[in-house]
Chain A
Amino acid sequence: MKSPGKIAAVAVAALVGVGILSGCSSSSGGSDDGTVNLVVAPVLPGATADALSALHKRVEQFEKKYPKIKVKAIEYQWTSTTFAAELAGGTLPDVFNVPFTDSKTLANNGQLADITKPFDQTSTAKKWNKNVLDVATGNNGHIYGIPWGPYAMALSYNRDIFKQAGLDPDKPPTTLDEIEQDAKIISQKVPGVAGYMQMTSGGTGGWELATAVQALGGRLEKVGSDGKVTVDTDNATTKQALAWLKKLRWDDNAMGSNFLWDWAGINQGFASGKIAMYMSGSDVVGSLMQTNGFDQNKYGVTTFPLSSDSNAGILSGGNVDVVNVKDSPAQVAAAVKWIDFYRTQPTVDKTAAVNNAKTLAKGKQAVNAPTLPVFDKATWEQNQEWIKPYDNIPVANLKPFTDGIFDQKIVPEPPAHTQDLYAALDPVVQAVLTNKNADVDTLLKGVDTKIQAMIDADSK
């Protein structure tokens, strides 16, 4: 027979196990003295020690300002793949961020907390750019999240590799033809390096194809005057974007030998010097530094080229901080205070901006990663002035992007079943990159049928 001590030890171990399994959310969220507990998830898994230290500092600043709110910050990455199970299982943090593509759907599904009341009490409630705030607004007009860090899709490049290939890193390509030419030169002159690459897996293939199509003046979905969405990927512009990729891959042999990149993977590939140029969000340098320890002095970024078509525009995206729908009203109110403190105030308040920049710089995180305005351009420019002394990415490296982005027309992502559309387009991009004779027409027709069926099912 087991000793009572052993039985007690097993019981404690079991209880601890249950405690771990009970996951992230701060369960009851409150205590008798009125303290509200929050679990927030502002950094991605794999964050560097510097990034975690910077986060810890910010939490301390917040708790000093709001002594009745206790914050536990965790590393976490929201993915659509685990979201519903985490929500159903009660393991979702109280505050987490979702991409622009998903926030509206989640809000309309009733899967996010309604934050309208505490949001209206924030100092910036009336200041928001309606187009930006729209991504976090439900069909009922209520607010379900606070957007931050909107970005435009851009062309990131490695300045060191440009130099090795004899190219001028201060004069990055400005047209699709120039990207192709530079990629070809790099692949020939720097062995083992892909001149240019796009993502292809986990929905990113469709995301980047959508960017290229919109940059050429096309659209993947059309919205009728009655609001009905028609999927139209099987069009000439999509085929033009795919033909460009095909040329890079098969005629120029300028895309390396790996064609199954997802977001995290391609960031790793770029940071390790295997890829010279790739398409990504303009703010990606923040993640490259935070997760991949990338030396920002090698980093270059420029606008992704638009065609002369009057419909051509750059695809934009961003993040929305949202609150767990199962939280109590006190937690929701505290969560909005945290989001406002952590995300919004550093864009509008000089002291908050400077404190944030100092903390980030000390933690070797990106201070001046290029983003777009959430309020208006004047506020954004003012913010850039405040943080200038703490900038840690060479401003000259960002100049090709910051000089051009405000001349580009911003175009939102396809409106219906966006992530499903992107995922369905992944195999099309993969086909072009892995099969010289890929039957693009049939593949695109299949995508149209599949996604249209999903959209039509919603209206039944």
Chain B
Amino acid sequence: MTVESAVTPTSARPERPKRRHNPLTWVQRGGLTTLLFLLPLLIIFGVFSWTPIVEAVVMSFQKTNLVAPAVFVGWDNFVAVFQDPVFWTAVRNTAYFAVLALLFGYPIPLVAAVLMSEVKRMKGFYSVLAYLPVVIPPVVSVLLWKIFYDASADGVFNTILGWVGIPPQPWIQDAATAMPSLVLEATWAGAGGTIIIYLAALTSVSPDLYDAAEVDGASIWGKIWHVTLPQLRGILFITLILQIIATAQVFLQPFLFTSGGPVNSTTTILLLIYQYAFTQSLGGAYGQATALSLMLAVFLAILSIVYFRVTSRWSDN
């Protein structure tokens, strides 16, 4: 007998007695009733969520126009997507949108929420003001901002710039300024929701911590840095990954503002998926559309797993 074998039994955990799954016991304990209550949800979820997902995965290996019988084409759709020069443009544009949205859209709601939490009076009024853009239907807000972004000297923003002697800007009419313009509107439209989340999280921060910080002589910035931000760490991690996922799926702004132009400068991955599915070859490129959708979904899933693993380690620390 080796030393290892002598040690192993003592270091191993005592084995738990296995629970036996007896159908009769399960029924007697009300399992059937549970299943009955669960069944509608399972059916709805299966039919409306998982069936399309499974069908999309199957379709990514097929050539179909939804009318003629589908033909399996192996990896052809994936190859076609990779060979499309617009694919890499869309990847770059989506990454650019995500980075800009993080730069604009991530800190602004946080700063606004922290400032609003410091306000003693009319807090509700400021919350309403911040949340109002979220209530406006997205299509309406894009149409509104289209008027703001009018590139002529009579445009709303250009008129304002004119008051301080700045010449008219092309906003969405130029490849260089189109994407930042889209991000600006998206930040305006989405910030209110994040502000409300931060405000809710801030209420859970114990006032004792601020009192202790004040006793230690911390300034307002010191309190934010040493108390507020560490206390919000969990919610900040969640909103960050949610924002990354949302920006990777940006569609509405490029679709409604610019249709991906000028010169594909605002063509994002989701817009490209839309173009494959609906504008190319009279719907003949559904296969490519689903192939690209699948690639995006897999990428985001991997990104989320890695992110949660890394951030949980940070959280543990």
Task: Please name all residues of chain A whose beta carbon is closer than 8 Å to the beta carbon of B67 when the two chains form the complex.
Answer: 84, 87-88, 109-111, 325
Q: Bound state CA distance, A201 and B259, in angstroms?
A: 7
Smallest CB separation, B292 vs chain A (Å): 16
B306 to chain A, nearest CB (A): 34
For chain A, what secondary structure do more than half of its interface residues adopt (helix, strand, loop), or is it mixed? helix
- Determine whether the beta carbon of A80 is less than 8 Å from that of B263: no
Chain A residue at minimal CB-CB distance from B89: A427
- Among residues of A, the one whose C-beta sits closest to the C-beta of B257 is A260
Chain B residues whose CB sits within 8 angstroms of the CB of A446 once the complex forms = 85
Instruction: Please tell me if the beta carbons of B280 and A420 are within 8 angstroms of each other in the complex.
Output: yes
User: A208 an interface residue at 8 Å Cβ cutoff?
Assistant: no
Scan residues 427-453 of chain A and give those whose CB is less than 8 A from a CB of chain B: 427, 430-431, 433-435, 438, 443, 446, 449-450, 453
Decide if A431 touches B262 in the complex (CB within 8 Å).
yes
Cα(A262)–Cα(B259), bound, Å: 10
Question: In the complex, which residues 254-278 of chain A have their Cβ closer than 8 Å to any Cβ of chain B?
Answer: 256-260, 262
A434 and B66 contacting across the interface, CB-CB below 8 Å? no
Contact residues in B for A192 (Cβ distance below 8 Å):
152, 154
Bound complex: CA A257 to CA B155 (Å): 10
Q: Which residue of A lies closest to B261 (CB)?
A: A430
B85 and A427: CB pair below 8 A? no
CB of B122 closer than 8 Å to a CB of A: no
Tell whether A156 is near chain B: CB-to-CB under 8 Å. no
Q: Does A203 contact B (CB under 8 A)?
A: yes
Q: Note all chain B residues with C-beta closer than 8 A to A83.
A: 282-283
CA distance A87 to B151 in the complex (A): 39
- Which residues from B are CB-within-8-Å of A202? 259
How many whole Å from B265's CB to the nearest CB in chain A? 9
What B residues does A106 contact at CB under 8 A?
282
Are B85's CB and A434's CB within 8 A? no
Segment of B108-116, B166-174, B211-219, B235-243 engaged in the interface with chain A: B166-174
Residues from chain A with Cβ under 8 Å of B173 in the complex: 257-260, 434
CA distance A430 to B261 in the complex (A): 7
Asked if B278 is at the interface (CB within 8 A of a chain A CB), the reply is yes
B279 touches A (CB below 8 Å): yes
Q: Which residues of B contact A146 (CB under 8 A)?
A: none
- B227 interface residue per 8 A CB criterion: no
Asked if B264 is an interface residue, CB under 8 A from chain A, the answer is: yes
> Is B198 located at the chain interface by the 8 A CB criterion?
no
State whether B263 touches A105 (Cβ < 8 A). Answer: no
Contact A434 B282, beta carbon cutoff 8 Å: no
User: Is A81 on the interface with B (CB-CB < 8 A)?
Assistant: yes
Q: How far is the CB of A103 from chain B (nearest CB, A)?
A: 11
Task: Give A88 to B172 CA distance when docked, in angstroms.
Answer: 36
Which of B173, B174, B175, B282 gathers most chain A CB within 10 Å?
B282
- Shortest Cβ distance from B33 into chain A, in angstroms? 18
Count of B interface residues, CB-CB < 8 Å? 32
B65 located at the interface, meaning its Cβ lies under 8 Å from any Cβ of chain A in the complex: yes
Asked if B316 is at the interface of the complex by the 8 Å CB criterion, the answer is no
User: Using Cβ atoms and an 8 Å threshold, which residues of chain A touch B152?
Assistant: 192, 256-258
Query: In the complex the two chains form, is A88's CB within 8 Å of B66's CB?
Result: yes
The reply to whether B85 and A450 form a contact with Cβ atoms under 8 Å apart is: yes
Verify if A417 is at the interface (C-beta below 8 Å from B).
Answer: yes
**A443: nearest chain-B partner, CB-CB:** B263
Q: Say if the beta carbon of B84 comes within 8 Å of chain A.
A: yes
A453 surroundings in chain B (CB, below 8 A): 83
How big is the A interface, by class? Answer: 35 or more
Given contacts A80-B278, A423-B279, A423-B280, contact A257 B263 (CB under 8 A): no
Distance A377 CA – B67 CA, assembled complex (angstroms): 39
Q: Provide the bound-state CA to CA distance between A344 and B65, in Å.
A: 31
**Contact between A109 and B280, CB atoms less than 8 A apart:** no
B131 contacts the other chain (CB 8 A): no
Q: Does B315 contact A (CB under 8 A)?
A: no
Q: Mark contacts of B42-70 with chain A using CB atoms, 8 A cut-off: 1 yes-contact digit, 0 otherwise.
A: 00000000000000000000000111100
Q: In the bound complex, how far is the Cα of B262 from the Cα of A435, in angstroms?
A: 9
Separation in Å of the A81 CB from the closest CB of chain B? 4
Q: Could you give, for residues 248-289 of chain B, a 1 whenever the CB lies within 8 Å of some chain A CB and a 0 otherwise?
A: 000000000011011110000000000100111111101000
Decide if A454 is an interface residue (CB 8 Å cutoff): yes
Contacts of A420 in B (CB 8 A): 280-281
In the assembled complex, A102 has its CB within 8 A of some CB on chain B: yes
Give the complex CA separation of A438 and B173 in angstroms: 15
Which residues from B are CB-within-8-Å of A180? Answer: none
Is A356 close to B, CB under 8 A?
no
A435–B174 alpha-carbon span in the complex (Å): 8
**Are B279 and A85 closer than 8 Å at their CB atoms?**
no
Q: Tell me whether B170 and A81 are in contact (CB under 8 A).
A: no
CB neighbours (8 Å) of B263 from chain A are: 427, 430-431, 434-435, 438, 443
Closest chain A residue, CB of each to CB of B281: A420
Q: Among B168, B170, B261, which residue has its beta carbon within 8 angstroms of that of A426? A: B261
A316 within 8 A of B: no
A-side contacts of B275, CB under 8 Å: 423
What are the residues of chain A within 8 A of B151 when measuring CB–CB? 257-258
A233 at the interface (CB under 8 A from B): no
Minimum distance in angstroms from B257 CB to a CB of chain A: 8
The distance in angstroms between the C-alpha atoms of A106 and B68, with both chains bound, is: 11
Question: Does chain B have a CB within 8 A of A225?
Answer: no
A200 at interface by CB-CB < 8 Å: yes
Of B83, B154, B286, which one neighbours A84 at CB under 8 angstroms? B286
Give the shortest distance, in Å, between B253 (CB) and chain A (any CB).
13
Within 8 A of B (CB), among A221-271: 256-260, 262
Within 8 Å of chain B (Cβ to Cβ): is A459? no
Chain A residues whose CB sits within 8 angstroms of the CB of B85 once the complex forms: 446, 449-450
Q: Nearest Cβ in chain A — how far from B190, in angstroms?
A: 23
Minimum Cβ distance to chain A for residue B209 (Å): 48
Contacts of A87 in B (CB 8 A): 66-67
| Bound form: Cα–Cα A433–B261 in Å | 12
Question: A190-212 CB contact bits vs B (8 Å, 1 = yes)?
Answer: 00100000001111000000000
Q: What is the CB-to-nearest-CB distance from B280 to chain A, in angstroms, rounded to a whole number?
A: 6
Within 8 A of A (CB), among B117-168: 150-152, 154, 168
The CA-CA distance from A200 to B284 in the complex, in Å, is: 23
Q: How distant is the Cα of A259 from the Cα of B173 in the complex, in angstroms?
A: 6
* 22 CB < 8 A contacts A-B: A80-B278, A80-B283, A83-B282, A84-B283, A85-B66, A109-B65, A109-B282, A109-B284, A192-B154, A257-B170, A258-B150, A258-B151, A259-B173, A260-B172, A260-B259, A420-B280, A423-B280, A427-B264, A434-B174, A434-B262, A435-B175, A450-B85
- 3 closest A-B pairs by beta carbon, nearest first, are A84-B283, A81-B278, A88-B66
Given contacts A109-B282, A257-B170, 12 further A-B contacts (CB under 8 A): A81-B278, A81-B279, A87-B67, A106-B282, A109-B65, A202-B259, A258-B150, A258-B173, A260-B172, A325-B67, A430-B263, A450-B85
